[in-house]
Amino acid sequence: MQSSDRSYETLINYIKDKIIRRVYKIGDKLPSERDLAEQLNISRNSAREGLRILDKMGLIEVRQGSGNYITNNFKKSLVEIMSLMYSLEIINIKELMEFRYALELQSLSLAIKNATQKDISELEHYATMLKTCESEKIKVIYDKKIHYGIARIGGNVYIMNNLMSFDDLMEFYVGYLRGKIFENADNKSGLQKSHEDIVNSIVESNFIKGKNALDRHFEYVFEIL
């Protein structure tokens, strides 16, 4: 049995190799911790540590009482990476929002090409709710539904995962930014109009209109930053 303190890497590399060779796919159940330890000639502690790391990476899901399953929850690792980069002052909020703008612009382009009538109806509903609801907390929810709905319609899983990874990191700042923007009544109506125009650009298959609206949307954000 391997005694190295890093023998947990044996398990990680084994699972990664199985995925690369298409032996394991999303939803597959892994052998038990004990079976993996015996099969790979490592300790139970090393096997447990390897599984813990894979779980933090978002590569497996631990289901209590059931076992470990292959998954694709890479949002977890993206959030951790971004949080550490922000804490270490490698990136700042402005840079994160610039990155987000680039992702959302590409999402918009893809959504205009891919949107079905059902997709459009959902976005129009979100825009209506954003405009008519009274609660600021509910407005934040529908604001997100519009942006993430467009990413979902775009269909690029890499963009979607990156946008979703902003949720935890930006939770405080989204509320803060909206509050600062809404201190000015003109800004509030302008931000509302930009969301309407973004949705309408998908309805009309008009990328230029959507880009202009997205630019206005982020201008409010960058002014606060």
CATH 1.20.120.530 fits 76-224, yes or no: yes
pLDDT digits (tens, 9 = 90+) for 124-182: 999 999 999 888 888 888 988 999 999 999 999 888 888 877 766 666 555 566 667 66
Cβ-Cβ contacts under 8 Å for 9 (sequence gap 6 or more): 50
Q: Does the pLDDT of residue 207 top 90, yes or no? A: yes
Per-chain mean pLDDT for the chain = 86
- What is 8-70's CATH topology? Arc Repressor Mutant, subunit A (1.10.10)
Q: Which two tokens stand for residue 18?
A: 């199985």
- pTM here is 0.70
pLDDT digits (tens, 9 = 90+) for 75-88: 767 767 776 676 67
Q: Can you give the residue ranges of every domain in the chain?
A: 8-70, 76-224
Distance CA 14, CA 175 (A): 43
DSSP state of 31: P
What is the end-to-end Cα distance of the chain in Å, rounded?
Answer: 55
